[in-house]
Amino acid sequence: MIPEFVASITIQKPATFRQIFGIATVLGSILLTPVATADTYDVASEAYDKGEYEAALSIAVPLAENGNPNAQFLVALMYDDGDGTELNDEKAIQWYTQAAKQGHADAQFNLAYMYDHGEGTEENNPEAVIWYTQSAEQGDASAQMNLALMYDFAEEGVERDVEKAIKWYTAAAEQDEQNAQYNLAVIYDEGEGVPVDDSRAVYWYQRSALLGESSSQTNLAVMYFEGEGVDRDIVEALAWTYLAIDAEHETAIENIGFFEEEASKKQVRRAKRRADELRDSLVSN
């Protein structure tokens, strides 16, 4: 009988985050702006990138008022962050909304985030879902992740829907969103609303682990130790645990003593060499 040890398979809910500014082209089926207007927007964008916020705002506002979605997003972002003007969440929402309605994916994401967190408005999760969905459908991994979280954790006003959570976790995971990969792995590992599928759990733990996600490294080690979804391999179990310990993962630290007791000295030496190989293969974000 194998003594019990910590398995660390509690779903973590990573913090949502705001999309950074960086879109320089109009997204979706939007009519191209005249060349002169586009050039002027580029000037505003360049000023913003240089930290010349007041100049960027003075150029972007007339363009935004004339319907340029990129300029609308830029103006919203500056009100949102208080760059070149006083922070004003209400005006940020106003301009994000105008850009979002024209199909600007980053504006859709940021607008959803503000409804999600009640910034400049009452918290409104159903409205957040609407805008996250539009951004997610354009391929935004952050929106896909946050939308999956809302369905997975049944945020207030949103009915839990594991099928939709899996759909959007998968979409984000395919774009190497490591927290989506981790949560997706846990769903298959524990059979949360779906049949247990250890092979899929291992697949997603491994992809996330290679991106440096320490909870995935810890759980992947457990899968190797128990032979769930993969052939039992104490060397791999130790190696992945050593990597998680690099990040001071508490569960990995608790597991390592038991794992090493179950291994031979030769296996421990091999595992430490294997851990060095894995460190060299980690994908830097």
Q: CATH number for the domain including 213?
A: 1.25.40.10
Residue 165 in any domain: the answer is no
The answer to whether residue 39 scores a pLDDT higher than 70 is no
The tens digit of pLDDT for each residue in 225-239 reads 999 999 999 999 999
The answer to whether residue 114 scores a pLDDT higher than 90 is yes
Residue 92 in any domain: the answer is no
How many domains does the chain divide into?
Answer: 1
Residue 157 in any domain: the answer is no
Confidence of residue 25 (pLDDT cuts 50, 70, 90): very low
Range of lowest pLDDT (29-38, 159-168, 248-257) = 29-38
- 43 HSE (CA, 13 A, CB side): 14
Q: For the chain, give the mean pLDDT.
A: 87
Domain of 255?
A: 177-285
What pLDDT, on the 0 to 100 scale, is given for residue 169?
96
The answer to whether residue 7 scores a pLDDT higher than 90 is no
Contacts of 249 (CB under 8 A, 6+ apart): 8, 214, 215, 217, 218
Cα 228 to Cα 63: distance, rounded to the nearest angstrom = 57
What pLDDT, on the 0 to 100 scale, is given for residue 193?
86
The answer to whether residue 139 scores a pLDDT higher than 90 is yes
pTM: 0.82
The answer to whether residue 11 scores a pLDDT higher than 50 is no
% of the chain residues with pLDDT over 90: 84
The tens digit of pLDDT for each residue in 162-206 reads 999 999 999 999 999 999 999 999 999 999 889 999 999 999 999
Residue 233 in any domain: the answer is yes
Range of lowest pLDDT (1-10, 68-77, 97-106, 259-268) = 1-10
The answer to whether residue 46 scores a pLDDT higher than 90 is yes
What pLDDT, on the 0 to 100 scale, is given for residue 284?
61
